Copies of this chain bind each other. A is one copy, B any other.
Amino acid sequence: MLKPGDTIGILGGGQLARMMALAAAPLGLKCHIFAPEGDNPAFDVAAARTIASYEDVAALETFARSVSVVTYEFENVPARTAEILSALVEVLPNPRALETTQDRYIEKSFIRDLGLAVPDFVPVDSLESLTAAVAQLGRPSVLKTRRFGYDGKGQAMIKSETDLADAWSVIGQSPAILEQFIPFEREVSVVAARNTVGAVVTYDVAENRHTHHILAETTLPAHISAETERAAKEAASRIGAALAYVGVFAVEFFVVGSGENEQLLVNEIAPRVHNSGHWTLGGAETSQFEQHIRAIASWPLGSAKRLGRIEMRNLIGADSDQWLDFVTEPGLHVHLYGKAENRAGRKMGHLTRVLP
């Protein structure tokens, strides 16, 4: 169990690490951020920083010895990095969560094996196997690289007119899966926390709207039945338990059908604090960031109670130019990430409205 004064190591220097560090401070915990050179807004709110590559063994070892636990803000932590750190200090969530979620084929197989519904999928490792997979799942379907995909990167739609060789090139001829295309009613997610003694807290289900594959807006409550809401939270609990997970994670779902036929398909698991949980800053009794810190510190979890109807909007690129309007609106929770440049597609901040 960590105690006030102890230091948490965080891999990654972006906005998620920054919001974790801001949540750790009022609990009396310090943060040490490890990140490669670049724009690292988490550095501005942390007690210590290491600028080094995730392959730099000496830097990783020095970092591991300076902290009481290591966590991370992104799922693509190299396996070797996690291994080097784990030899010296506890890494939470445990590296198994990384292995399972870094590879879409392993991830979807794991979820299906838990008895949870997922879109049909088939592994693809060549143009020939892609051709066979498309014959099996039909068109439209979606080709996705097994690794390093996020915000729509590493994906290609297979439409009626798509040339399969082109699609195979678009994703870089990397090991992939072909996935059934799901004409969903809506996308929802559950953010959950699990601590070292297996206690689980789930936030209410969030409904998400994406633009160009990037989360644009999250609203709560989601437009789903109470039954579906329960099922989503139950699925998250089962996934957390099966991974012996410690920390905050998110499960994204497609909602298909409606009324009595409403059904959930798991889309993916994010082994970290999640953009669809940013509303919890100001919109829930305990934010997902504090919850994550409590979990990895082996502390009791906080209440996930929602404080009202929620509208969370991401500020992407030039959206953040209107910051003065945002800070002027009474009662609006504005969170800016302190990034140096508002390049197109870059997450610059978010806004949360908590409505009665």
In Å, the complex CA distance between A43 and B324 comes to 28
Contact across chains for A336 and B18 when beta carbons are under 8 A apart: no
Instruction: List the B side residues contacting A334 at CB < 8 Å.
Output: 26-27
Chain A: interface size category: 35 or more
Contact across chains for B27 and A327 when beta carbons are under 8 A apart: yes
Q: This chain: how many copies in the complex?
A: 2
In Å, the complex CA distance between A322 and B141 comes to 56
Closest residue of B by beta carbon distance from A349? B28
Instruction: List the B side residues contacting A340 at CB < 8 Å.
Output: 5
In Å, the complex CA distance between A296 and B264 comes to 49
In Å, the complex CA distance between A18 and B294 comes to 21
In Å, the complex CA distance between A300 and B28 comes to 31
List which A297-336 residues lie within 8 A (CB) of chain B. 299-300, 302-303, 320, 323-324, 327-328, 330-331, 334-336
Contact across chains for A44 and B27 when beta carbons are under 8 A apart: no
Contact of A44 among B25, B303, B335, B337 (CB under 8 A): B25
Q: Is A198 in contact with chain B by the CB < 8 A criterion?
A: no
Contact across chains for A300 and B285 when beta carbons are under 8 A apart: no
Contact of A25 among B27, B45, B47, B294 (CB under 8 A): B45
Q: Is A149 in contact with chain B by the CB < 8 A criterion?
A: no
In Å, the complex CA distance between A338 and B5 comes to 6
Closest residue of B by beta carbon distance from A297? B327
In Å, the complex CA distance between A285 and B334 comes to 12
Closest residue of B by beta carbon distance from A1? B324
Interface string of A12-28 (1 = CB under 8 A from B): 00000010011001111
Contact of A26 among B22, B30, B43, B299 (CB under 8 A): B22
List which A270-302 residues lie within 8 A (CB) of chain B. 285, 294, 299-300, 302
Contact across chains for B28 and A323 when beta carbons are under 8 A apart: yes
Q: Is A4 in contact with chain B by the CB < 8 A criterion?
A: yes
Given contacts A30-B44, A47-B43, A336-B28, contact A320 B22 (CB under 8 A): no
Q: Is A153 in contact with chain B by the CB < 8 A criterion?
A: no
Interface string of A172-191 (1 = CB under 8 A from B): 00000000000000000000
Q: Which 4 A-B pairs have the closest CB atoms?
A: A28-B336, A44-B47, A26-B335, A300-B328
- Besides A4-B338, A21-B45, A28-B336, 16 other CB < 8 A contacts? A3-B323, A4-B336, A5-B338, A5-B340, A22-B25, A22-B45, A25-B45, A26-B334, A28-B349, A31-B44, A45-B47, A285-B331, A299-B328, A300-B327, A302-B330, A303-B331
7 A–B contacts from the bound complex (CB under 8 Å): A18-B25, A25-B45, A26-B335, A27-B336, A43-B47, A44-B46, A44-B47
